[in-house]
């Protein structure tokens, strides 16, 4: 029976595999609810039974294998994983997440807690559906429509894998959805681990995709990484080299705005407004982070790889170049663009940004000798960050050469170089295991963005396992308008504004109870000088706009899981209310529900059979400015809203997870289709197949 199931998986893969492209699973391998291990004092010299760690067990097993005295079956427990966040103030490792939970939610645009609105499908420009302000300060270009598909240094995972580890992840939904991801990591020696990430995607979407290459999404993410930890566990080095190449169509949508009312015989042949126009982002960078532990070293568990230092010095260097390109190869017969300043039929807008960052920090920890007992524990981080930026913006323009002949060439329209110096401080004080206080302060003291700041404070109150935990947080933020708002020159949009800094103040209350599987959060935002893009009524002349009056917004979210026998129900519900609802243009209600039944098939196949349902209330849909890369408040149009349901079967077989899903299965039941952005029809129902293979050898 086991061989039959494997044969079935291979057949399904062959049927669906029309191309090899990729996407990372947002649920893999990070698991913020992974339990923290109890601390034990390594300095305790009392006699005790020696505990064998997983690493020591792995060495023993490998030794047996080398001497051909045993047959070893490796599993995920022999692989440890970490990232920059887990290594921020100590060395923390966790196991791989090989569970099936939300395995079918593979795309960042369908992320459960941060869903996106898009131009139709994965890989196209997107924006958060809900209100999620960015907690960053300093220089910002302001182009973020393709951010969900970028591979950044903070996204890279590092492994402790003395057994070579390989993960392959494949998604197919015909030509409309095609993704592939590969990750490999292995230890060169017990202290150095290296690996690489490959991520490809090439969905063609659902409309006007017949043999028009420029209308295909095509993105590539390539990364090589390394993690070195010295034998005495005091010195660590993180390194990665990344390359991103993202191409997304900018079609201006299909010409038929009433596609769901009138219908279409073949949607792939529907003509678009711009058939050969697209945007292309490229990004490459080198990232090196070094830190050294001074003084005593404690551990969360005797003999484990997790290390708690008493002092730490760290240095990070990050160098990257980012190029934003917009390529117009079509005549604008349908008034997609509001204006032309240089070229009418052939446009080449580009912006290149070079960024060099040096970050220095010193950390001091004061804790009791008995590490398992947290009482009056103090931690202080002091840091300084130096940022150097150089950017240049170009457009295509017609000029006369030395012979008097008209030629079209790139012309530099603006350029600048500048520096920022940011002072940073983080403070935490744990009165006990039950009460903790944290503070995070960032202030740009000198440079172009001097005056920007982010002050964040947090109080954690924990009871026992039944009573749960409360987190109170508040922050104040002041940030300079992004470049696209203040000084922008392109073929279709030119802005020179004098806008005020946007200021955001927030308070939040978060209650977590793992026993009840409950996570409730209430957030209040007060925003002054809110920045957004808007246009004249029924126009497409998007331009920067600022609301000088304060904006109030209340956001309530609750996540709850219910289990009854073999049934599991997970629900995430959000309510938002603002006194400027027509300006923010987000729905008041959003809900994601997942109901599934757990069953063991053929005595080997751990399976879930169920349904996912997404729903948001009606809202005034934003428009999209082609050539600017911004969602803006244009025509006041509100689309009807109905649930989007998907039925799925997901299962795990040894080291293989797979799912079969019929997405938007209820299309035609309430409506023939739906919109999230004005003029851009969204996905159709689609049968999808996904599989993840993991190898330990």
Q: What is the CATH number of the domain that holds 675?
A: 2.40.170.20
Residue 471's closest CA among 505, 537, 423, 520? 520
Of 281-285, 374-378, 497-501, the least confident? 374-378
Share of the chain above pLDDT 90, in %: 68
Domain count, the chain: 1
Find the mean pLDDT for residues 641-647: 96
**pLDDT on residue 59:** 55
Q: Is residue 577 part of a domain?
A: yes
**Tens of pLDDT, residues 354-374:** 999 999 999 998 877 665 667
* Sheet containing 157-160: order of strands: 94-95, 80-83, 157-160
Find the mean pLDDT for residues 469-488: 97
Q: Is residue 152 part of a domain?
A: yes
Q: Is residue 396 part of a domain?
A: yes
Find the mean pLDDT for residues 343-347: 85
CB 268 within 8 A of CB 209: yes
Burial class (CB in 10 A: 0-12, 13-18, 19+), 35: exposed
Q: Give the separation between CA 574 and CA 248, rounded to whole angstroms.
A: 30
Q: Give the separation between CA 423 and CA 446, rounded to whole angstroms.
A: 9
Residue 158's closest CA among 98, 85, 59? 85
The three-state (H, E, C) secondary structure of 383-394, written as one string: EEEEEEEEEEEE
**pLDDT on residue 88:** 82
**pLDDT on residue 9:** 55
User: Would you state the structure tokens that stand for residue 126, as one six-digit string?
Assistant: 């997107």
How far, rounded to the nearest angstrom, does the alpha carbon of residue 480 sit from its chain's CA centroid?
Answer: 23
**pLDDT on residue 32:** 39
Q: Give the separation between CA 148 and CA 131, rounded to whole angstroms.
A: 16
The per-residue pLDDT of the chain, averaged, comes to 87
How far, rounded to the nearest angstrom, does the alpha carbon of residue 485 sit from its chain's CA centroid?
Answer: 24
**Tens of pLDDT, residues 395-441:** 998 776 667 677 778 899 999 999 999 999 999 998 888 899 999 99
Q: Give the separation between CA 79 and CA 96, rounded to whole angstroms.
A: 7
Count CB-CB contacts under 10 A for residue 221. Answer: 24
Find the mean pLDDT for residues 234-245: 96
**Tens of pLDDT, residues 5-57:** 555 555 555 544 444 333 334 333 344 333 333 333 333 333 444 455 555 55
**pLDDT on residue 209:** 67
CB 208 within 8 A of CB 271: yes
Q: Give the separation between CA 454 and CA 466, rounded to whole angstroms.
A: 35
Q: What SS3 class is residue 564?
A: strand
**pLDDT on residue 57:** 55
Q: Is residue 50 part of a domain?
A: no
Which range of residues forms the domain containing residue 419?
A: 2-45+55-696
Find the mean pLDDT for residues 137-147: 96
């Amino acid at each position: 029976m086991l061989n039959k199931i494997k044969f079935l998986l291979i057949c399904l893969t062959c049927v669906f595999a029309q191309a090899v492209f990729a996407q990372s699973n947002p649920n893999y391998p990070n698991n913020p609810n992974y339990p923290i291990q109890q601390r034990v004092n390594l300095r305790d010299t009392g006699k005790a039974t020696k505990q064998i760690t997983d690493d020591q067990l792995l060495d023993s097993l490998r030794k047996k294998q080398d001497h051909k005295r045993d047959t070893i079956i490796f599993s995920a427990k022999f692989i440890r994983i970490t990232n920059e966040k887990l290594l921020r103030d100590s060395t923390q490792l966790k196991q791989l997440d090989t569970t099936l939970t939300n395995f079918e939610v593979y795309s960042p645009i369908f992320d459960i807690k941060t869903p996106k609105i898009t131009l139709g499908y994965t890989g196209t420009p997107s924006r958060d559906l809900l209100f999620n302000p960015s907690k960053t300060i300093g220089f910002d270009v302001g182009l973020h429509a393709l951010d969900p598909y970028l591979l950044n240094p903070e996204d890279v995972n590092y492994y402790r894998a003395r057994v070579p580890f390989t993960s392959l992840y494949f998604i197919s939904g015909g030509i409309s959805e095609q993704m592939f991801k590969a990750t490999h990591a292995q230890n060169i020696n017990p202290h150095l681990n290296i690996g690489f990430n490959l991520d490809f995607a090439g969905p063609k979407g659902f409309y006007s995709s017949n043999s028009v290459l420029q209308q295909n999404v095509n993105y590539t993410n390539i990364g090589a990484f390394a993690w070195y930890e010295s034998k005495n566990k005091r010195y660590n080095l993180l390194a990665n080299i990344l390359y991103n190449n993202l191409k997304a169509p900018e079609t201006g949508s299909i010409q038929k705005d009433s596609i769901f009312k009138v219908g279409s015989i073949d949607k792939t042949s529907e003509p678009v407004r711009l058939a050969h126009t697209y945007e292309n982002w490229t990004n490459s960078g080198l990232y090196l982070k070094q830190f050294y532990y001074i003084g005593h070293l404690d551990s969360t568990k005797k003999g484990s790889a997790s290390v708690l230092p008493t002092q730490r010095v760290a240095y990070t260097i990050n160098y990257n170049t980012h190029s934003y390109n917009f390529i117009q190869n079509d005549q604008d017969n349908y008034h997609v663009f509001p204006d032309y300043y240089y070229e009418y039929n052939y446009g080449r807008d580009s912006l290149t940004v070079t960024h060099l960052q040096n970050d220095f920090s010193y950390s001091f920890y004061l804790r009791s000798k008995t590490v398992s007992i947290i009482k009056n524990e103090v931690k202080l981080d002091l840091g300084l960050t130096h940022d150097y930026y150089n950017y240049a913006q170009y457009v295509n323009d017609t000029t006369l050469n030395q012979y008097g002949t008209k030629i079209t060439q790139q012309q530099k329209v603006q350029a600048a170089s500048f520096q920022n110096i940011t002072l940073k401080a983080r403070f935490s004080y744990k009165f006990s295991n039950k009460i903790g206080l944290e503070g995070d302060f960032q202030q740009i003291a000198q440079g172009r963005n001097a005056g920007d700041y982010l002050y964040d404070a947090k109080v954690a109150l924990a009871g026992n396992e039944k009573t749960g935990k409360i987190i109170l947080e508040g922050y104040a933020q002041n940030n300079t308008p992004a470049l696209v708002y203040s000084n922008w020159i392109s073929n279709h949009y030119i802005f020179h504004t004098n806008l005020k800094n946007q200021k955001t103040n927030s308070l939040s209350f978060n209650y977590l109870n793992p026993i009840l599987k409950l996570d409730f959060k209430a957030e209040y935002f007060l925003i002054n000088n809110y920045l957004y893009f808007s246009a004249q009524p029924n126009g497409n002349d998007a331009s920067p706009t600022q609301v000088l009056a304060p904006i109030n917004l209340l956001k309530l979210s609750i996540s709850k899981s219910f289990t009854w026998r073999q049934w599991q129900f997970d629900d995430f519900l959000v309510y938002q209310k603002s006194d400027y609802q027509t300006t923010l243009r987000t729905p008041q209600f959003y809900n994601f529900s997942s109901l599934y039944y757990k069953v063991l098939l053929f005595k080997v196949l751990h399976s879930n059979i169920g349904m996912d349902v997404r729903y948001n209330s009606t809202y005034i849909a934003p428009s999209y400015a082609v050539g600017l890369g911004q969602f803006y408040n244009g025509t006041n149009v509100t689309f009807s809203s109905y649930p989007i349901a998907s039925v799925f079967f997901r299962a795990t077989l040894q080291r293989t997870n797979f799912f079969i899903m019929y997405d938007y299965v209820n299309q035609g039941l309430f409506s023939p289709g739906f919109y999230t952005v004005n003029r851009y029809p969204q996905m159709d129902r689609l049968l999808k197949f996904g599989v993840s293979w993991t190898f330990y050898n």
